[in-house]
Chains A and B, each alone.
Chain A
């Protein structure tokens, strides 16, 4: 394959991965979907001790370069069923960072058998006026599945079952709508990349448990022991009415967002510089992610073993960690191209 032709972004992967259910610690369905998408294109495919999916792919031809770990996390934020009341209602707790205000009135998909539940609340008519403006504590919320007793509920639900937002992938214009774009966008970018043989040795990792403390990437990085790493993310874009340009960045549709620094990582300056120069050379628009916000698997990978130079390239997504997010398909395509051309640059420019 010519060096100039980056692989295409496969939208069907984004759709399949977004619709799959995989709350942190319960990523099996997503892992199956990713494995199905890539197994015919990689040299080895393994599941590590924590559940991350690891695919190795040797370079085409004789070109040499550093061994690169590309990583995207499979898990999404959601809730876990933690109790079943005698009247059949389910108690739950958050898995990952969710604004409690988006839970009330939502529909959830519970477990793997299509069971639905609704997060009920007393209507404003029936509560004290002073309480109508209060955010309900997570402890006071419950899921109503229509069961009338604990026994009836237990036939369909077990403590520890996960539940996700009941959202279906859709498209209009360049916009794509779906749940869990953080980080199924990165998962789909990575699955699209490995369908072509890269110019340097690559190990692709689809990690588990990012949303509960960047946990899966630690073991995976140790096992892969790469020379450097690039993490692929769906990151929060900031647009909203009446916000300053500073608060609005990064913008959906304005190209891949590059990380300088966040709460987990000082991105490797040489690597970021190489990515940025590659983008300019290839005329791929990029933007900076606002420093100091969030954290990614790159923070764990960077401190793995003797240390791994790491960077993060993100597809900007509106409304992550909410029931439905938006992304611009152009940004996903540009991210695939940028990573591909960066791998190519590394053959020449990385010591």
Chain B
């Protein structure tokens, strides 16, 4: 029986990609994530840095080993850096949009109350020769709210977060394009995994963590602090992987609709990948293997080196056009990632450890 608050994967993607949440400003998103995780988890809590943690208690005898699952709650965006005469706003980046895709885009300025705005563009009629041959870096872009300067100065104080304003777009094959699929799609994987584990209990305790500040700085602050305090014996990050796109070299992308991708490389413990592949075989599911020679660039980077070291894996959701307003995923892939993760955790023996005693 479907409860009123339950949604399809596509509906969850709609709901979660619409929430704000630039790094450091995840509170509003966290409230919604808490509600969602609360549908299935035994316990949901917000930690000191703002991570949302949802616990599934295992069937094994206490004290049980713990698996930490991480998907990041923050999304890339901007902060208001300066207000120029005329009320035009200059921005500083949080997380690295592709600057080639910003001109003419609409945004939301998260002032109180919010204001819509857009990235100003010089119309072709008024451009100097050659002006349109140059990509404008973020420092040269500006926002125009279409409001009087006085009002802009009062509302859009320095530091106000800004996110792209692009409603989700439905494409053929059930595919969906929206900003913030990175990594709200990962949050939906966590949600579906919690749902599954609430019926099919693992031996281990499982803690699904919606992390803060993955897109900020070189340290994934939320994942690092969560790992320090939870002390897991296994860590798995769920994030988006580059989906197949024309012009990409072989090996740089995984096909959309092709199921989960599994990273391999130094950031990943081979035993965990072996287990995930065994689960995929048991489910009759295809997985893509993605080589990550310099690390995965996900929360797993900091989970792995917290405490005494944690065996980690990364499950990737194929996603086209990353770090634009049209990040495109196929909801089927999201479901498959969750099925794979839930199967692996439910089958994980209580005594499984990555550490070995040789003598």
Contact = CB atoms under 8 A, between A and B. Distances in A.
Interface of A: 85, 87, 89, 97-102, 104-107, 116-126, 132-136, 140, 142, 144-148, 152, 156, 166-167, 170, 172-173, 175, 177, 236, 238-242, 247, 293-294, 318-324, 326
Interface of B: 84-86, 88, 90, 96, 98, 100-106, 115-116, 118, 120-127, 132-136, 142, 144, 146-148, 166, 169-175, 177, 242, 245-249, 252-253, 257, 320-326, 328
A156 B105 CA distance: 27
26 contacts: A99-B103, A101-B103, A101-B135, A104-B324, A105-B321, A107-B166, A118-B171, A118-B177, A120-B320, A121-B245, A122-B245, A122-B247, A123-B98, A144-B328, A147-B173, A148-B173, A172-B146, A172-B147, A175-B146, A177-B116, A177-B146, A236-B126, A241-B84, A320-B125, A322-B103, A323-B118
A100 B321 CA distance: 18
Contacts of A85: 246
Q: Interface residues of B: mostly helix, strand, loop or mixed? A: loop
Contacts of A98: 124
A182 to B, nearest CB: 9
B105 A240 contact: no
Given A102-B121, A125-B323, A324-B104, 4 more contacts: A105-B325, A121-B98, A240-B122, A241-B142
A114 to B, nearest CB: 9
Given A118-B328, A177-B116, A236 B125 contact: yes
A319 B104 contact: yes
B324 A123 contact: yes
A339 B243 CA distance: 55
A105 B142 contact: no
A233 to B, nearest CB: 11
Nearest to A175: B146
B43 to A, nearest CB: 37
A125 B104 CA distance: 22
Contact of A105 (B101, B132, B253): B101
Report, nearest first, the 10 A-B pairs whose CB atoms are least far apart.
Answer: A105-B101, A146-B171, A146-B172, A175-B146, A102-B104, A118-B326, A146-B175, A241-B88, A241-B84, A236-B123
B172 A152 contact: yes
Contacts of B173: 146-148
B146 A318 contact: yes
Nearest to A118: B326
B326 A120 contact: yes
Contacts of B122: 99, 240
A101 B170 contact: no
B132 A135 contact: yes
Contacts of A144: 171, 320, 328
A7 B233 CA distance: 75
Nearest to A262: B125
Given A105-B325, A123-B323, A172 B252 contact: no
B84 A124 contact: no
A102 to B, nearest CB: 4
A322 B121 contact: yes
A241 B144 CA distance: 10
Contacts of A173: 146-148
Nearest to A142: B246
A119 B120 CA distance: 19
Contacts of B171: 116-118, 144-146
B141 to A, nearest CB: 10
Contacts of A121: 98, 100-101, 245, 321, 324
A53 B325 CA distance: 38
A105 B98 contact: yes
Contacts of A172: 115-116, 146-147
Contacts of A107: 166, 169, 177, 325-326
A339 B175 CA distance: 49
Contacts of B169: 107, 116, 118, 166
User: Quick one: which of B115, B125, B136, B170 has the most chain A CB within 10 A?
Assistant: B125
Contacts of A247: 126
A17 B72 CA distance: 42
B326 A135 contact: no
Contacts of B123: 99, 236, 319-322
Nearest to A165: B104
A242 B84 contact: yes
A101 B323 CA distance: 16
Contacts of A320: 123, 125
A293 B126 CA distance: 7
A105 B169 CA distance: 12
Given A116-B169, A147-B172, A240-B88, A319 B118 contact: yes
Nearest to A105: B101
A212 to B, nearest CB: 14
A99 B121 contact: yes
A136 to B, nearest CB: 7
A85 B245 CA distance: 13
Contacts of B175: 146
A339 B169 CA distance: 41
A64 B173 CA distance: 63
Given A105-B324, A133-B135, A324-B118, A156 B166 contact: no
Given A105-B101, A319-B121, A89 B246 contact: yes
A250 to B, nearest CB: 11
A11 to B, nearest CB: 16
A231 to B, nearest CB: 16
B336 to A, nearest CB: 17
Contacts of A323: 104-106, 118
Contact of A239 (B86, B101, B105, B328): B86
A152 B257 CA distance: 16
Contact of B133 (A122, A135, A242): A135
Contacts of B127: 99
